Amino acid sequence: MERGFSFVRECPLFPLKFVNVKDIFGTSRARVWHFKIEMRGTFLIPASNMAIKQVVQPRIRGFICVSAHPVGCAENVRRQIAYVKEQVPLKGGCKSVLIIGASTGYGLSSRIVAAYGAGAATLGVSYEKGAENGRTASAGWYNTAAFEAAARNDGLWAKTINGDAFSTEIKAATVALIKKEMPKIDLVIYSLASPRRVDPKTGQAYRSVLKPIGQSFTSRTLDTDRNVISEITLSPASEEDIESTVKVMGGEDWELWMEALEEAGVLAEGCTSVAYSYIGPEVTWPVYKNGTIGRAKEDLEHTAKRLDALLKIHRGRAFVSVNKAVVTQSSSAIPVVPLYIALLFKAMKARGLHEGCIQQAWRLFATQMYNDNILKFDEGRRVRLDDREMREEVQSEVFAIWPDVNTENLNELTDYAGYQTDFLNLFGFNFPGVDYDAEVDIEVPLL
């Protein structure tokens, strides 16, 4: 993905020649004042309709927000860093970490814990969009820029490769960068969530779908766009749906990553690799655990066992960590899950058990992977960070209330307000202390 300025590609009136700034300045990182440039003949003129200083408001479309606030995203990162700085530094922590899916959600928080809890050098891989044609960059882009700036300011090595992690090229670029600039990797975190993957061997594109298997599933759901409780019926997945979802969200790509790193000799003795999964309560099983995504997660668990055997050669280990339900760009897209999360948050907050991504990532590092701990597995060889979510008292409260929730009492019976805050926070909105009326520069370079 091009990080430099992008140019209007077509003009109906004149045969203009538009060029990339890289061709003019020899670097895609050149910053040329606060305007974009069009090349018309031999003249350079500012494209005034593409102001990059602007007031940024949330633009929500369905379950996604298509704008992001650079200052708010930086605030999100700052708060997570502050949380980790308040903890006691990790003992025997990681030193050189690769995070695949590092820009948002669990991957970003894991990166922050590795860097600020253990002082590790972190290399992130993510697939984010820079600002273009007056549109803001994606939240993950701003998060990454803010994290890199903070890390460097604090003397921590941090770099990010922005591109398709499923591709052979990005794997090769990652290996090359590690060889050139990093000590051997002692922790690989696999935290990708994607709707699509192109198989690098065949070139075939696969789409993951969120569908039940075997029979259709009808449930109450929360339409977060219209703030209403409605009923949803999901038709059962075809064999092709299942296969595609496993291709995208299963373990194949994680395995390709680990093989590429192992073959290149960039894994340290004792290297750990972890991928994230979710199980959740029975009410979501038809669409999650027993659905297409659940099949992909089963595949991830099989992969963990194979990778564990591979890493054992170097006294290392691989495993799956089952994390709790949190609001992220990925989870907000899953039918039924937002309603469950709104109920869950209320039950967990009332008991002082609430956690977000950063608390979960901290607990994984501090109580499982480091501080002289050993990994505590369940019967399926999974680490369970969803233990508090799955407590009997929490789940029974959620399910006692579940049938009674309707559009009118949504705010009273659930923590939908907390859900909405977390959702807006993902895109840098709704943080106290950020001036959302001020014009901000939406062009933020990655370092």
Q: How many residues bind ligand NAI (CB under 6 A)?
A: 29
Instruction: List the one residue from 276, 319, 362, 365 that touches ligand NAI (CB under 6 A).
Output: 276
DSSP 8-state assignment for residue 32: -
Are 146 and 77 contacting, i.e. CB atoms less than 8 angstroms apart?
yes
Of the candidates 66, 70, 50, which has an alpha carbon nearest to the alpha carbon of residue 58? Answer: 66
Of the candidates 38, 34, 43, which has an alpha carbon nearest to the alpha carbon of residue 11? Answer: 38
Shortest spacing between CB 29 and ligand NAI, in angstroms: 20
Determine the angle formed by the axes of helices 416-426 and 70-85, rounding to 10 degrees.
Answer: 110
Binding to ligand NAI by CB under 6 A, coded x per residue (else -) over 105-124, reads xxx-----------------
CA neighbours closer than 13 Å in the CB half-sphere of residue 411: 5
Instruction: List the one residue from 140, 281, 286, 335 that touches ligand NAI (CB under 6 A).
Output: 140
Run of H or E residues at 417: helix 416-426
Are 210 and 292 contacting, i.e. CB atoms less than 8 angstroms apart?
yes
Would you say 7 or 166 has its CB closer to ligand NAI? 166
101 lines the binding site for ligand NAI (CB under 6 A): yes
Shortest spacing between CB 317 and ligand NAI, in angstroms: 19
Which tokens belong to 304?
Answer: 């963990």
CA gap 94, 115 in Å, rounded: 9
326 lines the binding site for ligand NAI (CB under 6 A): yes
CA gap 336, 222 in Å, rounded: 7
- Asked whether the CA dihedral 142, 320, 332, 425 is positive or negative, the reply is negative
Which listed range, 81-89, 97-105, 226-234, 301-309, lies at the site for ligand NAI (CB under 6 A)? Answer: 97-105
CA gap 426, 329 in Å, rounded: 7
Shortest spacing between CB 300 and ligand NAI, in angstroms: 8
**SS3 state at 352:** coil
**SS3 state at 208:** coil
Catalytic residue among 276, 288, 416, 419: 288
Shortest spacing between CB 20 and ligand NAI, in angstroms: 22
Q: Based on C-alpha coordinates, what's the Rg of the chain? A: 22
Of the candidates 153, 155, 154, 144, which has an alpha carbon nearest to the alpha carbon of residue 99? Answer: 144
- The residue with its CB nearest to ligand NAI is 105
CA gap 358, 425 in Å, rounded: 14
Would you say 38 or 299 has its CB closer to ligand NAI? 299
Would you say 36 or 111 has its CB closer to ligand NAI? 111
Shortest spacing between CB 19 and ligand NAI, in angstroms: 28
127 lines the binding site for ligand NAI (CB under 6 A): yes
Would you say 101 or 335 has its CB closer to ligand NAI? 101
Shortest spacing between CB 167 and ligand NAI, in angstroms: 8
Instruction: List the one residue from 96, 221, 323, 414 that touches ligand NAI (CB under 6 A).
Output: 323
Are 337 and 326 contacting, i.e. CB atoms less than 8 angstroms apart?
no
Residue 191 β-bridge partners? none
Instruction: List the one residue from 39, 71, 102, 440 that touches ligand NAI (CB under 6 A).
Output: 102
The letter for the amino acid at 64 is I
* Residue labelled with tokens 């994606």: 138
Which tokens belong to 52?
Answer: 């990059």
Would you say 118 or 300 has its CB closer to ligand NAI? 300
Instruction: List the one residue from 110, 126, 244, 245 that touches ligand NAI (CB under 6 A).
Output: 126
Would you say 21 or 209 has its CB closer to ligand NAI? 209
Binding to ligand NAI by CB under 6 A, coded x per residue (else -) over 172-191, reads -------------------x
Shortest spacing between CB 261 and ligand NAI, in angstroms: 16
Pairing of strands 60-61, 382-384: unpaired
193 lines the binding site for ligand NAI (CB under 6 A): yes
Are 201 and 195 contacting, i.e. CB atoms less than 8 angstroms apart?
no
Dihedral class, residue 119 (left if φ above 0, else alpha if ψ from -120 to 50, else beta): left
Is 288 an active-site residue?
A: yes
Would you say 105 or 418 has its CB closer to ligand NAI? 105
- Pick out residues in 328-387 that bind ligand NAI (CB under 6 A): 328-331
- Pick out residues in 410-439 that bind ligand NAI (CB under 6 A): none
Shortest spacing between CB 329 and ligand NAI, in angstroms: 4
Instruction: List the one residue from 164, 199, 298, 308 that touches ligand NAI (CB under 6 A).
Output: 164
Shortest spacing between CB 165 and ligand NAI, in angstroms: 3
CA gap 158, 102 in Å, rounded: 11
Q: Report the interface residues with ligand NAI, using CB under 6 A.
A: 101-107, 125-128, 140, 164-166, 191-194, 276-278, 323, 325-326, 328-331
Catalytic residues: 288
